[in-house]
Structure 1
Amino acid sequence: MLLLRSRRSTTTTSVVRLLYLGLVIWSCCCCDWWYLSTPSHYYGAHAFTLVTFDVDGTLIQGSGQAAEASLHAQAFSHAVRKVLASSSSGNSNKNQKDIPPVAQALPRELYHGSTDGLILLRLAQATLDMDATESFPYLPQMMDCMYEFMLSQSKEDATSIGKYISPLPGVMEHLTELANRKDSVMCGLVTGNVEGIARLKMKTVGIYETGVLAEACETQRIWDGTQDIAFLGGFGSDFCSGNIVDLDRNHLDRGEQIAIAVQRCQRQLAKRHSGTNNNNDPPSLLKRVVHVGDAPADVLAAKALSERTLQNQVDDELCVGMVAVATGSYPADLLQELAGSPIPGKWEPVVLEQGMGDPMFLKACGL
């Protein structure tokens, strides 16, 4: 009887141990499932905001002569003439033809708020009667030519790039404030400008010196001559569809540039975390991207990105904000109409009539 009781006791103990072990395994599985399926902010990840800025009409303003006389405006005509007209050796008319400024050759809606790539292709079609399919293969060469023209001109005359352009009201003050928030905010440009040209502009008008622009990602091009003033962003030289017929490409191309900036920001955050001495530190994850721009293309590009998050084509935890500034060529009511209704946590647009001169600018960014 004693032996029987001992066996029963042993059996009971074994069963209890097995049940306990099963409970432990089940608990661990539940914890793993919770960790993997729960949004990152529940387990200590550091939330970051990416703020991207358009350039012309958002950060800087041009005088009435800027569209025709600025160095950037001259660079388009120079590149089309040097690359395309000179390459058309079989057509003496093309080879000898002068290329007028963009503002004279194209209607305003075909260049304002567009990207450098699309503008080059449209200028070639308007002045040389070249179809985009014919000029598109030369696009990288034309962009290089634009950059080299501006770089060489700036070396001859340090003030040449800054002629006709200057920072808009409130820009320097708010950028300086953002530069002090690098523990939770990363800033860069999303612009249709060729990247090297954007660098020259930011240096010339003093924006680069604010320290607000984040370090460039290793995926970005060097652009010899400006590698020391590189910064994060998505640029006209990063993507161009080549489609000059569909006007929606004005904002869809820019939308691709925002997506490129987002990917580069995420890469930088991952690199920053992997470089820390303490691997137990929570990661920094991008939770919000805010684009600041003055044109319909800016609003529609940011809106397109938010729609991609809703369709789970990109990070479905990402909130897309838009600060539409009426400091360019478009009125606030038009920008508001294009922005539409907000979707809390997904699409959060704000329109500021005074642009970055508005005291509520940082709040509009969600900061």
Structure 2
Amino acid sequence: QSSPRHLAKLSIYLLPELLLVFTIRAPCSLRSRTASVLCLLLLLAVDSASGLLLRGYGAQPCRANSQLLSSRTSYSVCRLRGGGSGEMVKKTLVTFDIDGTICVQGKGEGGSSEKMMHTLAFNHAFLKVFGVDAHIGEVKHAGSTDQLILLHVLLERGFDKEEVSSKMGEMKEAMIEYAQANKERAGDGLTLLPGVKETLAELSTRDDVLVGLVTGNLEPIAWLKMEALGIKQYFSTPNFGGFGSDYTSGDPTKKAEDRAEMVRIAAKRAAASYEGVEIGDRYHIGDAPPDVWAAEAGGAAAVGVTTGNFGEADLRPFIKGEASVVLKDLSNREEVRRVLGLA
């Protein structure tokens, strides 16, 4: 019974089983979805080929092998999609604005806002693309987005809107170029606001919450700030959000509408980034009237905080939804949990 013919038949039979063990075990340690999918495809191919070869030797492939393959394949694919049972897992989505909500500008090491990396990135873009020594302080920009600020400043300088819009991509690239070249200064002049780090740290420990950003900042600049402040690790990975680099209406008077679109973009990205997850309740935390209005217009409950340039009297008129509120800050952890429906 130990003829070469018999050994060949035995090897062909065992090969799919060995691949099956690797397929089920390896992805767990390697954490590689790609490896798992490739192994499953290879397993299917080898199983089919072994069946043909066995029949060529006058034998029949084991029926139990096909049944095991079917059940294991279903289990593995289910795991790859984010759920052991194949059911969708519902999670609360919480997004944060940055300036005035997570941190305050113009304080701490780095001095005034004019010397901050983000502000200097604007200056660099104005000079490189349009050859003008312009500054964002020339217009009122609270609650606006980076693209709208670029446009607003240059319109005030007398530039043609069509020309500015056509070169918006170049200006965004120039800002990102400057920020990445000076990333060690990303935290200059920024100070974390009360309760922010503690709130983010707590949310990061929960398996029923996804945490992202919704901000007018260009995306690379936003994450550089989070790194510099020492809080990027508290955001869900893969990182997601809606950013000033994603969308612009091209109308500086529509900053709230632009932000509402970013709230929608963040929700879509979260849903796309986490397979097997159903987005449940959504909350957006921000400090300016456009943040509050945009949250509700974008399908989320608004959590206004009076940590920026606006007080409760400024934010309250924009609160319409029953789940929307205005808080002094995020320092009361129990209150924050209650507001986010996580108590």
TM-score, normalised to structure 1, is 0.66
Matched, 1:47 2:90: yes
Q: Which amino acid aligns with 2:106?
A: S
**Percent of residue pairs bearing the same amino acid type:** 36
Matched, 1:366 2:316: no
2:147 to 104, 108, 117: 117
Match of 1:256 in 2: 261
Q: Which amino acid aligns with 2:196?
A: V
2:309 to 329, 334, 337: 329
Per the TM alignment, residue 161 of structure 1 is displaced from its structure 2 partner at its CA by 1.8
CA contact (8 A) 2:126 2:133 kept: no
Match of 2:102 in 1: 59
Tell me the distance in 2 between the aligned counterparts of 1:321 and 1:130.
38
Tell me the distance in 2 between the aligned counterparts of 1:322 and 1:362.
14
Matched, 1:285 2:278: yes
Tell me the distance in 1 between the aligned counterparts of 2:313 and 2:133.
40
Secondary structure of the residue aligned to 1:242 is coil
Per the TM alignment, residue 294 of structure 1 is displaced from its structure 2 partner at its CA by 0.4
1:197 to 201, 212, 221: 221
Tell me the distance in 1 between the aligned counterparts of 2:112 and 2:181.
19
Match of 2:251 in 1: 243
Per the TM alignment, residue 74 of structure 1 is displaced from its structure 2 partner at its CA by 1.3
CA contact (8 A) 1:71 1:150 kept: yes
Secondary structure of the residue aligned to 2:249 is coil
Match of 1:351 in 2: 326
1:81 to 110, 127, 134: 127
Tell me the distance in 1 between the aligned counterparts of 2:128 and 2:255.
25
Secondary structure of the residue aligned to 1:298 is helix
Per the TM alignment, residue 45 of structure 1 is displaced from its structure 2 partner at its CA by 4.5
Secondary structure of the residue aligned to 2:220 is helix
Secondary structure of the residue aligned to 1:363 is helix
Extract structure 1 runs of 4+ deviating beyond 6 A.
none
Q: Which amino acid aligns with 1:214?
A: S
Per the TM alignment, residue 66 of structure 1 is displaced from its structure 2 partner at its CA by 4.2
Q: CA RMSD in A?
A: 1.7
Q: Which amino acid aligns with 1:102?
A: I
Match of 1:165 in 2: 190
Tell me the distance in 2 between the aligned counterparts of 1:124 and 1:358.
42
Secondary structure of the residue aligned to 2:324 is strand
TM-score, normalised to structure 2, is 0.70
Match of 1:144 in 2: 173
Tell me the distance in 2 between the aligned counterparts of 1:364 and 1:115.
27
CA contact (8 A) 1:67 1:102 kept: no
Tell me the distance in 1 between the aligned counterparts of 2:88 and 2:227.
34
Match of 2:163 in 1: 134
Tell me the distance in 2 between the aligned counterparts of 1:161 and 1:261.
23
Task: Identify the range of structure 1 (60-69 vs 45-54) with the bigger mean alpha-carbon deviation.
Answer: 60-69
User: How many pairs does the alignment contain?
Assistant: 253
CA contact (8 A) 2:113 2:189 kept: no
